[in-house]
Structure 1
Amino acid sequence: MTVDVEDYFQVSAFESAVSRSDWDDMPGRVEANVDRILSLFDGAGVKATFFTLGCVASRHPDMVRRIVAQGHELASHGWSHVRVTQQDRSEFGEDIRRTRATLEDIGGCAVQGYRAASYSIGAANLWALDELADAGYRYSSSIVPIHHDLYGMPEAPRFPFAAAGGRLLEIPVSTVTIARRNFNCGGGGWFRLYPYLLSRWCLRRINDVEGESGNFYFHPWEIDPGQPRIEGASARARFRHYLNLQRMESRLQRLLRDFSWDRVDRVYPIENGPGV
């Protein structure tokens, strides 16, 4: 179980409507939403991995400390939700090192994992996985093996694989294969779009038929139907972002009951090395 910790105005879908220079003036809701998630997880006895933006951690250090104090894993989501496709290798390396150092300083724990903004690592920039290994990360969860207009590497393995010359474990978001095509069943807008029973069927197929663990994600803003609406965003962006927000929390509660969940670093063989 994973959470991508970012606020509602920091998503890639709104980057043309909300300038980063305006972020500090936007009414923040991430801390209250994370606290609601921590309460949900505590009630269900679930531990998770929180992929956290460095800029959010620096603004809400007590929130980060609560995540760690309650037994969850702290991991990196980059500094300010810049897609890897918008960075060169030097910029990316500086970003991931700055974020890791900040999270470790605030959280008082080692940070082993990374998730790219909008899953923006793919065939054209696999050098990013080498940079992550060079920076001391042990795993990444940044590739989705599907066709998508914003991201995706459909030819990638569907399940964890060794990368960066065996120095890093890449853990793709969960998909199912239907008619030779992969479909996302690992969370986010897909989880809000599909009927819950279909999402449950997909994850059970991964567990029971394929014998693999599911890798699920969501965002704090997805349990917040009362969030401010962003003016100037495209119709597609608004549809993807606001679809079924009012149903997300109840669906998430069912998901927590229907499956067993844990932190990434305890589900996958991180400590034994990515080749295991």
Structure 2
Amino acid sequence: MQYARLRSNALTVDVEDYFHVAAFDATVSPAQWPDFPQRVARNTEILLQQFDKHQAKATFFILGWVAERYPQLVKQIHAAGHEVASHGYAHAKASVQTAAEFLQDVSRAKAILEDITGAEVVGYRAPSFSIGKTNEWAFDVLQQAGYLYSSSTYPVVHDLYGTPDWPQQPYKRAEGIWECPMPVLNKVGKQWPIAGGGYFRLLPYWLSKKCIDSYLKQSDAPYMFYFHPWEIDPHQPRFEQAPFKSKFRHYTNLNRMEAKLVRLLQDYQWRSVKEVYQPYFA
């Protein structure tokens, strides 16, 4: 539909490697991370090429751990006109940290990214959308650390995360920080996750597109899509010892993701969170 190309949507990439993901928390220790083949730079560079080809801009929520090891990649993202934002330092869920630990993590990541780019970092996304009712103090910490906005909540029912009764629209928190929740489609009395990630890999493209188009008709709020660089990498090393459910979520349709992503870039107009949500932040 032509109207879909006229409306700017927010494209976001959570820059982490295949061994960082929460699905493998019980299988892989952070102490082992340096021992694994690292593929995040290669995969992210492929994304940068595709974004450039299709004139798409994005927000890259980058792990501080990755930025320390690949500062040139961060500079490349910034130089290409994309927004550099924070995914924290060590991919620890906000829900398992104390306020002091969380402050140290998000401040460290912000400082690393700002030192590399020479530009202010204003956005943050919690690993696994791990801010909810049990740790609302995280918003106060983010405001204290100097962030302008967060994109850390998903108003759906999910076994690992979810704030189904929280706002579905961007809103300014009492703590002084903006929260930009992941978009959901309201249909048949339920809130359906349509923001990308594993659902986009699992579902046929036509169905994902139908859901996005329905959302664009239904909501005045921006649409936001997210995914990870490892999702376009079917040749990544595999953790066969991981639980079946984790392997299913992580490995399904990796070989189809890049082609589906190209179709998404062609069908919609994509910009960074900072640009698309600017009317709210102003």
TM-score where L is the length of structure 2: 0.94
Q: Tell me which residue corresponds to 1:27.
A: 37
Tell me if the contact between 1:17 and 1:231 (Cα under 8 Å) persists in the aligned partners.
Answer: no
- Amino acid in the other structure paired with 2:232: I
Whether 1:231 aligns to 2:240 is yes
Question: Displacement, 1:159?
Answer: 1.7
Tell me if the contact between 1:54 and 1:102 (Cα under 8 Å) persists in the aligned partners.
Answer: yes
Structure 1 residue corresponding to 2:263, chosen from 254, 259, 263: 254
Q: Call closer, same or farther: CA 1:271–1:112 in 2, change over 3 Å.
A: farther
Question: Displacement, 1:199?
Answer: 1.1
Q: Tell me which residue corresponds to 1:185.
A: 194
- Amino acid in the other structure paired with 1:3: V
Question: Displacement, 1:231?
Answer: 3.0
Whether 1:94 aligns to 2:124 is no
Q: Call closer, same or farther: CA 1:272–1:162 in 2, change over 3 Å.
A: closer
Q: Tell me which residue corresponds to 1:210.
A: 219
Instruction: Please give the alpha-carbon distance, in whole angstroms, between the structure 1 residues aligned to 2:278 and 2:52.
Output: 25
Per-residue CA deviations over 1:166-217 (Å, capped at 9, x if unaligned) read: x111011111112221111001101011121111111112222322311100
Question: Displacement, 1:270?
Answer: 6.7
Q: Call closer, same or farther: CA 1:270–1:27 in 2, change over 3 Å.
A: farther
Instruction: Please give the alpha-carbon distance, in whole angstroms, between the structure 2 residues aligned to 1:188 and 1:95.
Output: 24
- Amino acid in the other structure paired with 2:265: L
- Amino acid in the other structure paired with 1:236: K
Per-residue CA deviations over 1:118-177 (Å, capped at 9, x if unaligned) read: 110011111101111111100000000011111000001112111134x11101111111
Whether 1:71 aligns to 2:81 is yes
Q: Tell me which residue corresponds to 1:241.
A: 250
Q: Tell me which residue corresponds to 2:151.
A: 141
Greater displacement, 102-111 / 37-46: 102-111
Q: Call closer, same or farther: CA 1:91–1:270 in 2, change over 3 Å.
A: farther
Whether 1:53 aligns to 2:58 is no
Instruction: Please give the alpha-carbon distance, in whole angstroms, between the structure 2 residues aligned to 1:41 and 1:72.
Output: 10
Instruction: Please give the alpha-carbon distance, in whole angstroms, between the structure 1 residues aligned to 2:181 and 2:143.
Output: 17
User: How do 1:102-121 and structure 2 match up within 5 A?
Assistant: 102-121=112-131
Tell me if the contact between 1:143 and 1:153 (Cα under 8 Å) persists in the aligned partners.
Answer: yes
Q: Tell me which residue corresponds to 1:131.
A: 141
Secondary structure at 1:156's aligned position in 2? coil
Tell me if the contact between 2:13 and 2:61 (Cα under 8 Å) persists in the aligned partners.
Answer: yes
Secondary structure at 2:19's aligned position in 1? helix
- Amino acid in the other structure paired with 1:251: K
- Amino acid in the other structure paired with 1:51: F
- Amino acid in the other structure paired with 1:116: A
Instruction: Please give the alpha-carbon distance, in whole angstroms, between the structure 2 residues aligned to 1:236 and 1:178.
Output: 27
Whether 1:268 aligns to 2:280 is no
Tell me if the contact between 2:88 and 2:126 (Cα under 8 Å) persists in the aligned partners.
Answer: yes
Percent identity for Structure 1 against Structure 2: 49
Unaligned runs of 5+ in 1: none
Secondary structure at 1:8's aligned position in 2? coil
Secondary structure at 1:40's aligned position in 2? helix
Q: CA RMSD in A?
A: 1.1
Instruction: Please give the alpha-carbon distance, in whole angstroms, between the structure 2 residues aligned to 1:23 and 1:253.
Output: 30
- Amino acid in the other structure paired with 1:194: L
Per-residue CA deviations over 1:222-260 (Å, capped at 9, x if unaligned) read: 000010101321000000000111110011001011111
Unaligned runs of 5+ in 2: 1-10
Instruction: Please give the alpha-carbon distance, in whole angstroms, between the structure 2 residues aligned to 1:149 and 1:164.
Output: 28
Greater displacement, 150-159 / 206-215: 206-215
Tell me if the contact between 2:182 and 2:195 (Cα under 8 Å) persists in the aligned partners.
Answer: yes
Instruction: Please give the alpha-carbon distance, in whole angstroms, between the structure 2 residues aligned to 1:146 and 1:38.
Output: 30
Higher relative contact order (CA 8 A, sep 6+): 2
Aligned residues: 272
Instruction: Please give the alpha-carbon distance, in whole angstroms, between the structure 1 residues aligned to 2:188 and 2:99.
Output: 37
Tell me if the contact between 1:5 and 1:53 (Cα under 8 Å) persists in the aligned partners.
Answer: yes
Secondary structure at 1:9's aligned position in 2? coil
Tell me if the contact between 1:17 and 1:233 (Cα under 8 Å) persists in the aligned partners.
Answer: yes
